[in-house]
């Protein structure tokens, strides 16, 4: 009887151990995400050149064999990580500014959309990679402009064109204004985090962007009001 109980206890312990092992096993998708998280952390402290399969495997707590089963090489790791970040940021990029808004409210709306994009952790990480690796990773620069920068510029440009349709600006000016505005927002929100050039406390971001909104709205106001003049 005692031997039977001991045997049952031993079998139960074995099943509990196996259940625990299987229960904590990561799916392929979960494993890929954990690996890409490790790549993202590595790229915050380094660049493509310093990235290594060995380092990523260690930080993801997997074997190199498992890593190579999921990713072909370092290039595959780097591209997959950056593409995931690009997708994350692209999903929150605005496509349109409501044209019924006044110039000032429209600029405020657009700047708020830009802040949401550029103050996201994913945007900071992807732009850091663009800065560090862009010279040798042209696909990344092109993808950043296509999926993020150019879409924001187009949204602003379209709003300006609608606001000034009764008194059009010279052909290249709406695009130029939009490029300058997006660049200014990026510099104010991301610049200090990436380049560390701030030597003294700055006014709150919303105050600096309000100044921008009023300055750019002032360019549009005379033309947007011309229809009622």
pLDDT at residue 200 in the model: 55
Look at residue 28 and tell me whether its pLDDT is greater than 50. Answer: yes
Residue that has been written with the tokens 């890409």 in this structure: 36
Look at residue 203 and tell me whether its pLDDT is greater than 90. Answer: no
pTM score, two decimals?
0.80
Structure tokens at 212: 């921008």
pLDDT at residue 167 in the model: 86
Average pLDDT rounded to a whole number, residues 103-128: 93
Of 4-18, 152-166, 172-186, 197-211, the range with the lowest mean pLDDT is 4-18
pLDDT at residue 20 in the model: 40
pLDDT at residue 53 in the model: 95
Characterise 63 by phi-psi region: left (phi > 0), alpha (psi -120 to 50), beta (else).
beta
> Predicted confidence band at 17 (pLDDT cuts at 50, 70, 90)?
very low
Average pLDDT rounded to a whole number, residues 43-66: 93
Mean confidence (pLDDT) of the chain: 84
Separation of alpha carbons 92 and 120, rounded Å: 10
Average pLDDT rounded to a whole number, residues 144-165: 95
| Residues ≥6 apart with Cβ < 8 Å to 130 | 140, 141, 144
pLDDT at residue 22 in the model: 38
Q: What percent of the chain has pLDDT over 90?
A: 62
Of 24-38, 77-91, 129-143, the range with the lowest mean pLDDT is 24-38
Distances (CA, A) of 88 to 85, 118, 130, 157: 5, 12, 16, 23
Separation of alpha carbons 179 and 104, rounded Å: 18
pLDDT at residue 130 in the model: 95
Could you tell me which residue, 85 or 226, shows the higher pLDDT? 85
Look at residue 195 and tell me whether its pLDDT is greater than 70. Answer: no
């Amino acid at each position: 009887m005692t031997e039977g109980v001991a045997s049952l206890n031993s079998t139960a312990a074995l099943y509990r151990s196996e259940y625990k092992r299987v229960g904590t096993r990561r799916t392929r998708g979960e494993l890929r995400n954990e690996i890409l998280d490790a790549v993202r952390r590595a790229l915050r402290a380094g660049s493509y050149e310093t990235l290594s399969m060995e380092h990523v495997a260690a930080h993801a707590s997997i074997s190199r064999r498992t890593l190579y089963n999921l990713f072909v090489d370092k290039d595959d790791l780097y591209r997959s990580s950056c593409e995931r970040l690009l997708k994350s940021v692209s999903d929150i990029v605005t496509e349109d500014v409501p044209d019924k808004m006044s110039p000032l409210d429209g600029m405020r709306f657009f700047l708020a959309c830009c802040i949401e994009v550029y103050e996201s952790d994913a945007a900071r990480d992807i732009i850091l990679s663009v800065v560090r690796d862009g010279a040798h990773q042209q696909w990344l620069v092109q993808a950043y402009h296509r999926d993020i920068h150019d879409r924001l510029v187009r949204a602003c440009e379209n709003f300006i064109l609608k606001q000034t349709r009764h008194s059009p600006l010279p052909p290249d000016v709406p695009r130029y204004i939009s490029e300058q505005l997006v660049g200014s927002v990026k510099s104010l929100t991301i610049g200090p985090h990436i380049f560390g050039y701030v030597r003294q406390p700055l006014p709150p971001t919303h105050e600096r962007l309000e100044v921008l909104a009023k300055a750019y709205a002032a360019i549009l106001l005379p033309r947007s009001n011309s229809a009622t003049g």
